[in-house]
A and B are shown apart, each in its own frame.
Chain A
Amino acid sequence: MSETTGAHRTHAITLTVNGVLREVTVPARRLLSDCLRHDLGLTGTHVGCEHGVCGACTVLLDGEPVRSCLTFAVTVDGHEITTVEGLAEEGALSPVQRAFSECHGLQCGFCTPGFLCTVTAFLRDNRTPTEEEVLEAVSGNLCRCTGYQNIIKAVHRAAEIQAEESG
């Protein structure tokens, strides 16, 4: 497992990323965000503040949204990660992705991967959210373009699409 000793030692880990088993060797200090982007080439996960404030790097860890910039890749050895690249099913955009597109819930798109992951998990657990619940759910994600109104609309629209398609 180790290539050298001490602080520069590397660790061989296995992650299931978007359903695919990925083996990678990383130093312990490698953030999950950097592991996804640099080691695995999945640049859909964006890195904003790197101290947990902006939410751009949010991914799903065993289905639950977490900050990938506040998670070490070694810590999640053996776990399942879903990134924005894994949200579309068989090439078709997910209900949340379609709603963001339809409602203009993005402009520059930098924050979008984090919003999409956060909202995907939120609407899975709460299929008919209130306005207040939606605001709380996205309160940890920053967007500097939209003014949030269209993002909030998109979350409600995604809930509608989800309901239409399951009903």
Chain B
Amino acid sequence: MKPPPFDYHRPARLGEALRSLAEAGAHGKVLAGGQSLIPLLNMRLAAPGHLVDINGLTGLDTIAADTSGVRVGALARHAAVERSGSARAAQPLLAQALRLVAHPVIRNRGTVVGSLVHADPSAEMPAVLALLGGSVRLASIGGERDVAAADFFVGPLESACLPGELAVSAFFPALPERSGTAFCEVARRHGDYAVAGVAASVTLDEDFRISAARVACVSVGPVPVVVDVTGVCGRRPPASVDWDGVARAVQDRIEPEGDIHATAAYRRHLTGVLVTRALRGAAREAADGGEGRA
């Protein structure tokens, strides 16, 4: 239960960090909050030769929100994003999901961008990024590139972040007017990884009929499973949507696996229940927000 030895790098500047990562190549790993990485090291499930600790870098703990969305820097802790009023105003789903991420003490140290790069298919942050169609900005000594959420999550614990790259920020887009969001999950204990979970967004038109509806499901596939259910909902008021039919449409798209915590059939059942719950919650919020602004 002690981490294996590694070469420790503590760059003071971004360029220095990128050089260290380039030199370390496939043997390098970035240390930000460490709340996923250090357990892996303690349990000897990972043994990187080089750790590049980015906690000494300045300017990476930013949370920049405007009407287009929220850009979160690599050192923005979960707790800081959760408490940020401007982030909540621009994209309420962040705070709705963050309260479900582990425990408050873990959120004091863990980072949002770190959760994305860790790419756990049971985690909330990847589902939020995937649902919103956000992106992750990766830097290397060769330059920067933005990777869309749809391309970023490659497999369980595998992201598109290549050796030598550092995820410097992530962008969570805002939703149009008359939109609402919700994150519902079932875990064996509060703070545990979800047995099943669903992030949902609903946008209503001027007559308060559904014009867009999407869900992202966690713990039921190798990556967050995003399903656009706009067509299945139909352009009608939320009260007259066949929610059971919508739930079935999503259940057809997921590939849950059974493990000691739940059978595949139970995960599929739960996902259906949570899809309905999350979409109805999101639709309610969309209607309330729309009226509030009118």
Contact = CB atoms under 8 A, between A and B. Distances in A.
Interface of A: 6-9, 11, 27-29, 31, 34, 50-52, 55, 58, 61, 64-67, 69-72, 74-75, 118, 122, 136-137, 139-140
A51 B43 CA distance: 8
A28 B34 CA distance: 14
A7 B105 contact: no
B2 A58 contact: no
Given A28-B6, A64-B108, A70 B34 contact: yes
Given A31-B3, A50-B42, A140-B191, A74 B8 contact: yes
A5 B113 CA distance: 31
Name B's interface SS. loop
A72 B190 contact: no
Given A67-B109, A72-B34, A139-B103, A50 B8 contact: no
5 contacts: A52-B106, A70-B38, A74-B53, A75-B53, A139-B191
A27 B191 CA distance: 32
Contacts of A122: 104
Contacts of B6: 7, 28-29
Interface string B18-51: 0000000000000100110011011100000101
B34 A7 contact: no
B291 interface: no
B102 interface: yes
A58 B106 CA distance: 10
B104 A137 contact: yes
| Number of chain B interface residues as a range | 20 to 34
Interface of B: 1-8, 10, 31, 34-35, 38-39, 41-43, 49, 51, 53, 55, 79, 102-106, 108-109, 189-191
Nearest to A114: B105
Given A7-B6, A71-B34, A139 B109 contact: no
Name A's interface SS. mixed
Given A66-B109, A67-B109, A7 B191 contact: no
A111 to B, nearest CB: 13
B190 A136 contact: yes
A68 B183 CA distance: 30
A39 to B, nearest CB: 14
Nearest to A34: B2
A74 B35 contact: no
B2 A29 contact: yes
Contacts of B10: 74
Contacts of A140: 102-106, 191
A74 B53 CA distance: 9
A118 B105 contact: yes
B42 A69 contact: yes
A75 B49 contact: no
Given A52-B106, A67-B105, A140-B105, A72 B31 contact: yes
